[in-house]
């Protein structure tokens, strides 16, 4: 092999275009487009709450059945379809009690749904506490505040394990007794009481002590959905060729560790289960290098790109 062939065979550093940073559009329509995922998430979060509230307080029905009764831990859609929090059911099993069949069926329905969508979609699209922590983070950025200390994001997995161990030890679903998610949701539906102090505590903690401390570092439910999210089919696709590594997506992401450019370039997508599919990185990417897509489609596109690259390499070698 000649020296020229060796150079062709060796990997070359990819030339990238000039770095451009995100700039908020001047027009209201442009701003709405940037905020499209945020608006959609708030509509879903508030919409779910309204369905619960309307059923309880205003007697909403469909086909002569209550639309959505219960709460996020355990509910029933149209009086027939059970819906249960899989993590709550897992705690019940860990507490050495066997859940009712409806609870198991409901947990299976929710689990399969989020296996398709991506586990932590719950965190950014359904969980009511997300609105609280997003507000705290927005205020932190406006005030230029810094975290007083940082705990590793993996701490939430220890919280998950602790919740299961305590459930086994005390014989009840431990996290459900103190979960600020369940507390906030129940009190928004049935009336605000002293339990809302826990929600206020999360807001103060995220605002004054640690940026995204609850959702990004501590929440056991987030850890559970992170594990489920590793097999999620809806992913953030990544186009390495157009990315200039400006870093705007990393700064916007509530889980910045998931945006590993080398990993994303290798697989064509963000694979980490901690990704919440919130869409913030997509909305602010100046090169449109990020987008939502199905895992299978991303694999096919990646395989096609590799085939084209291999064909081009063989063609170049033949010409040499």
Confidence check: pLDDT of 150 > 80: yes
Confidence check: pLDDT of 7 > 60: no
Cα angle: 136, vertex 139, 145; to 5 degrees: 100
What pLDDT is recorded for position 149?
A: 86
Among the residues of 205-294, which ranges form H helices?
213, 220-229, 248-252, 261-267, 280-284
Spatial contact of 121 and 276, defined as CB atoms under 8 Å apart:
yes
CB burial class (10 A; 0-12, 13-18, 19+) of residue 27? exposed
Confidence check: pLDDT of 318 > 60: no
Mean pLDDT confidence for 28-42: 95
Helix axis angle for 180-190 and 129-143, nearest 10°, is: 110
pLDDT band with cut points at 50, 70 and 90 for residue 10: very low
What pLDDT is recorded for position 306?
A: 46
What average pLDDT is seen over the chain? 87
Q: How far apart are the C-alpha atoms of 280 and 37, rounded to whole Å?
A: 7
Mean pLDDT confidence for 95-121: 92
Pick the CATH number of 233-319 from 3.30.70.20, 3.90.1150.10, 3.40.228.10, 3.40.50.150: 3.30.70.20
Domain boundaries, the chain: 33-228, 233-319
CB burial class (10 A; 0-12, 13-18, 19+) of residue 224? buried
Confidence check: pLDDT of 291 > 90: yes
- The secondary structure of 116-136 as a DSSP string is HH-TTHHHHHT-THHHHHHHH
Spatial contact of 162 and 218, defined as CB atoms under 8 Å apart:
no
Structure tokens at 218: 């501590």
Q: How far apart are the C-alpha atoms of 272 and 281, rounded to whole Å?
A: 14
* Low-confidence winner among 73-77, 126-130, 229-233 (lowest mean pLDDT): 229-233
Spatial contact of 272 and 258, defined as CB atoms under 8 Å apart:
yes
Spatial contact of 111 and 103, defined as CB atoms under 8 Å apart:
no
Structure tokens at 178: 């103190």
What pLDDT is recorded for position 88?
A: 96
- The secondary structure of 17-60 as a DSSP string is ---------SSHHHHHHHTHHHHHHHHHHHHHHHHHHHHHHS--
Length of the chain (residues): 320
What pLDDT is recorded for position 206?
A: 94
What pLDDT is recorded for position 8?
A: 36
Q: How far apart are the C-alpha atoms of 72 and 85, rounded to whole Å?
A: 7
What pLDDT is recorded for position 16?
A: 67
Q: How many CA atoms, within 13 angstroms, populate the side-chain half-sphere of residue 227?
A: 14
pLDDT band with cut points at 50, 70 and 90 for residue 3: very low
What pLDDT is recorded for position 13?
A: 52
* CA-based radius of gyration for the chain: 23
Spatial contact of 203 and 132, defined as CB atoms under 8 Å apart:
yes
What pLDDT is recorded for position 252?
A: 92
What pLDDT is recorded for position 14?
A: 58
Confidence check: pLDDT of 312 > 60: no
Instruction: Summarize pLDDT for 216-270 with one digit per residue, the tens.
Output: 999 999 999 999 988 889 999 999 999 999 999 999 999 878 899 999 999 999 9
Q: To 10 degrees, the CA torsion angle through 152, 154, 159, 162?
A: -120
Residue 35 neighbours by CB distance under 10 Å: 14
What pLDDT is recorded for position 294?
A: 92
Spatial contact of 130 and 123, defined as CB atoms under 8 Å apart:
yes
Q: Could you give phi then psi for residue 267, rounded to 5 degrees? A: -105, -10
Instruction: Summarize pLDDT for 176-220 with one digit per residue, the tens.
Output: 999 999 999 999 998 888 888 999 999 999 999 999 999 999 999
Mean pLDDT confidence for 62-71: 94
What pLDDT is recorded for position 298?
A: 87
Confidence check: pLDDT of 50 > 90: yes
What pLDDT is recorded for position 117?
A: 86
Confidence check: pLDDT of 35 > 70: yes
What pLDDT is recorded for position 299?
A: 67
């Amino acid at each position: 092999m000649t020296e020229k062939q060796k150079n062709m065979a060796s990997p070359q550093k990819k030339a990238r275009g000039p770095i451009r940073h995100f700039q908020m559009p001047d027009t209201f329509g442009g701003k709405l487009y940037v905020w499209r995922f945020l608006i959609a998430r708030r509509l879903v979060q508030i919409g779910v709450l309204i369905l619960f509230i309307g059923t309880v307080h205003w007697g909403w029905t469909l086909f002569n059945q209550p639309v959505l009764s219960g709460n996020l831990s355990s509910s029933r859609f149209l009086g027939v379809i059970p819906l249960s929090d899989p993590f709550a059911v897992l705690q019940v099993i860990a507490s050495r009690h066997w859940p009712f069949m409806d609870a198991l069926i409901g947990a299976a329905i929710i689990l399969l749904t989020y296996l398709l969508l991506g586990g932590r979609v719950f965190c950014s699209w359904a969980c009511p506490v997300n609105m609280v922590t997003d507000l705290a983070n927005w205020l932190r950025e406006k005030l230029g505040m810094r975290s007083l200390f940082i705990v590793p994001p993996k701490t939430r997995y220890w919280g998950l394990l602790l919740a299961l161990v305590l459930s086994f030890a005390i014989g009840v679903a431990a996290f459900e007794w103190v979960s600020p998610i369940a507390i906030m949701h129940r009190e928004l539906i049935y009336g605000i009481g002293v339990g809302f102090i826990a929600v206020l505590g999360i807001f103060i903690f995220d605002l004054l002590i640690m940026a995204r401390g609850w959702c990004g570092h501590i929440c056991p439910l987030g850890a559970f959905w992170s594990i489920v999210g590793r097999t999620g089919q809806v992913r953030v696709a990544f186009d390495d060729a157009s990315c200039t590594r400006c870093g705007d997506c990393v700064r916007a992401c509530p889980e910045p560790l998931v945006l590993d450019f080398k990993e994303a370039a290798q697989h064509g997508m963000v694979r980490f289960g901690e990704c919440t599919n919130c869409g913030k990185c997509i909305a602010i990417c100046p090169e449109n290098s990020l987008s939502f897509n199905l895992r299978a489609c991303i694999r096919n596109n990646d395989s096609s790109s590799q085939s084209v690259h291999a064909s081009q390499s063989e063609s170049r070698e033949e010409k040499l």
